[in-house]
Amino acid sequence: MAVEFAVRKPTAARSNVSATVNSTEVKKLMKHDGKALLVLFDFSDTPYSEEQIESFRNWPSLGRGNHRKSAFNVVYFFVEKRRPLALGKITKNIRIT
């Protein structure tokens, strides 16, 4: 089982949990032969939408060669409301064809 984490602090840039910034982690998960999970924690006031999380389906190039690519899961936890505290979650299974 491979697990990668990314955290966006309340005052951090929006890109901290983006697919582009986390492309290295996505590549590692794609190459892992087994179960793989990318966990994103977003503590900001401006969470990503489900459509923005879909961008993880646009996987990065692995370079030349015939690479084995495996499916992986993305779980995005975010703050829906501060008072009272309410958390939200988006889960995606990314299949590579």
CA angle 15, 21, 25 (to 5 degrees): 135
**How confident is the model over 15-35, as pLDDT tens digits?**
999 988 998 999 899 989 999
Is the pLDDT reported for residue 61 higher than 80? no
pLDDT at residue 36 tops 90 = yes
91 sits in the region (left: phi over 0; alpha: psi -120 to 50; else beta) called beta
Q: What type of residue is 8?
A: R
Q: Give residue 47's pLDDT band: very low, low, confident or very high (50, 70, 90).
A: very high
Please say if the pLDDT value at position 97 is more than 70. no
H-helix or E-strand spanning residue 73:
strand 72-81
Cα–Cα distance measured from residue 73 to residue 91, given in angstroms and rounded to the nearest whole number: 7
